[in-house]
Homo-oligomer: A and B are copies of this chain.
Amino acid sequence: MKFCSHCGSDKIQSKVPDGDNRARFCCPDCDTIFYENPKIVTGCVVTCEDKVLLCKRAIEPRLGLWTLPAGFMENNETVQQGAARETYEEATATVTEMSLFTVYNLTHISQVYMIFRAQLDKPEASPGIESLETEFVSEADIPWDELAFPVINETLELFFADRKAGEFKVHHGEITRLADRSLRTTRY
């Protein structure tokens, strides 16, 4: 942030406002304080019979790798509506009933993943504009080394473990970047 989006000042500075305890971008000319907060990424583990719907990414980052349909929640929608919207946008699949499955904190990039479970009666899906391919994949065929993000690996591992155990829970956890740039996954 170089300029104040309110008054156009070029004197924006990062400082701790009075009564606050964190640095924020502040405009000394119009006194506006700019807050930055985490974003919710919402999406679905969509199943049809024993298979899970995966999408091959048509966009960066991780173009060409496989993911679950998910994306940034938008203003004026519910988390569930966002998950259904992303599932439609990325895989042209229409989900209705959804159950919360994971809440994962990606603290290093200030994202909270909220992934829901949903079922389809028929394997009806096709690539939306952000996907190259969609495919319903059985557990044995999951391309574990070609998944786009660690949180996707984690979500699918939890999903198959719960399915095997015969009970789906709501899982909480965290993926953090360590000093050596590696990622650590913690299940609460």
On chain B, the residues within 8 Å of A138 by CB distance are none
> How many angstroms from the CA of A188 to the CA of B36 in the assembled complex?
30
How many copies the complex holds: the figure is 2
A74 at the interface (CB under 8 A from B): yes
Chain A: interface residue total (CB-CB under 8 A): 41
Nearest 10 interchain pairs by C-beta: A78-B105, A3-B8, A75-B110, A5-B5, A1-B5, A37-B39, A3-B5, A76-B107, A38-B73, A78-B174
> A residues bordering B, Cβ < 8 Å?
1-8, 10, 12, 19, 22, 34-40, 72-80, 100, 103, 105, 107-108, 110, 112, 114, 129, 170, 172, 174, 188
